[in-house]
Amino acid sequence: MTTCLKPFNKIHLVACDSTNDYIRQNIARLESEFPLMVSSDVQIAGRGREKREWVSPLNLAIYATFGFHLANKRDLSLLSITCGVAVSDMLQNWTGKEFTLKWPNDILADGKKIAGILCETIVNANKIICLAGIGVNVNQDNKDFPGSLRSRAGSVKLLTGKTWLLAEGRARLAASMACWLGYLIADRGSFIIDRARVLSRSFLGRAISFHHQGKRTRGIFLDIAADGGLLLDQEGAGGKVFYSGELDQADFS
């Protein structure tokens, strides 16, 4: 039986700079509403990891941030991959299509990025505040992506050939996040990692390019470690665990 997080309270906006920034800028007022999902029809200044722009056209995609508390710092190492599993499972259950989890939390289909996640935390002596920003490309056509992204970005519509209801997608995403975060809070990290390995099976054991702290390296993606790290074999030197960095998407096309 799934131990779900308490259902998310919900705020839906017509527009904002970004849903992560909206919660962060209004944290004194909104923290009492946690667990909270803030979504928006459009983001004026959406952003992803490494301060990259997240293109956020009006009424074509899901833009949402989930604000919640974690009681234990040990759960932070699994936060990103837990969110990645939650989004992947939501998309598979919603569409019936297969999705790939690109460590730690990008979601691909047919080699193209469908969804991305930006996790931010505020840690102090008394509590851990987590903001999990999620963008899911739903109803975009190729023309809706900048030219520089068209070879790498996809959408649920392009994958399935039909248009999807964003409100239904947001509701499904909130339910999936509540359930998978429930596993995290219930100390069922091994279950999360097992699911992440299944979703990542298409590239486990493959040679990859890996960018870490401004440097590029290559190696064999051996496994996802029990604490969520990436286990990489560099030039036969044995496994080294990384907790940050980015895999080259071209390796999974």
Burial status of residue 7 (CB atoms within 10 A of its CB: 0-12, 13-18, 19 or more):
exposed
Q: Name the token pair of 213.
A: 């702290």
- E strand or H helix that includes residue 27: helix 27-30
Looking at every residue in the chain, the average pLDDT score rounds to 89
Q: Which residues contact 27 (CB under 8 A, 6 or more apart)?
A: 122, 129
45/118 Cα distance (integer angstroms): 14
54: pLDDT confidence band, cut at 50, 70 and 90? low
Is the CB of residue 174 less than 8 Å from the CB of residue 87? no
* Predicted TM-score of the model (pTM): 0.92
Domains of the chain from N-terminus onward: 9-199 (3.30.930.10), 207-252 (2.30.30)
Determine if the peptide bond prior to 35 is cis (ω within 30°).
Answer: yes
Q: What is the mean pLDDT of residues 60-80?
A: 94
The larger pLDDT score, comparing residue 1 to residue 141, is at: 141
Tens digits of per-residue pLDDT, 125-184?
788 999 999 999 999 999 988 877 788 899 999 999 999 999 999 999 999 999 999 999
44: pLDDT confidence band, cut at 50, 70 and 90? confident
pLDDT at position 47 is 58
210/103 Cα distance (integer angstroms): 11
Burial status of residue 107 (CB atoms within 10 A of its CB: 0-12, 13-18, 19 or more):
buried
Residues of the chain above pLDDT 90, percent: 65
113: pLDDT confidence band, cut at 50, 70 and 90? very high
Give yes or no for residue 50 having a pLDDT over 70: no
User: Closest Cα partner for 128 from 184, 61, 195?
Assistant: 184
Is the CB of residue 49 less than 8 Å from the CB of residue 91? no
pLDDT at position 243 is 86
The larger pLDDT score, comparing residue 2 to residue 60, is at: 60
pLDDT at position 150 is 81
pLDDT at position 3 is 57
Give yes or no for residue 92 having a pLDDT over 90: yes
253: pLDDT confidence band, cut at 50, 70 and 90? very low
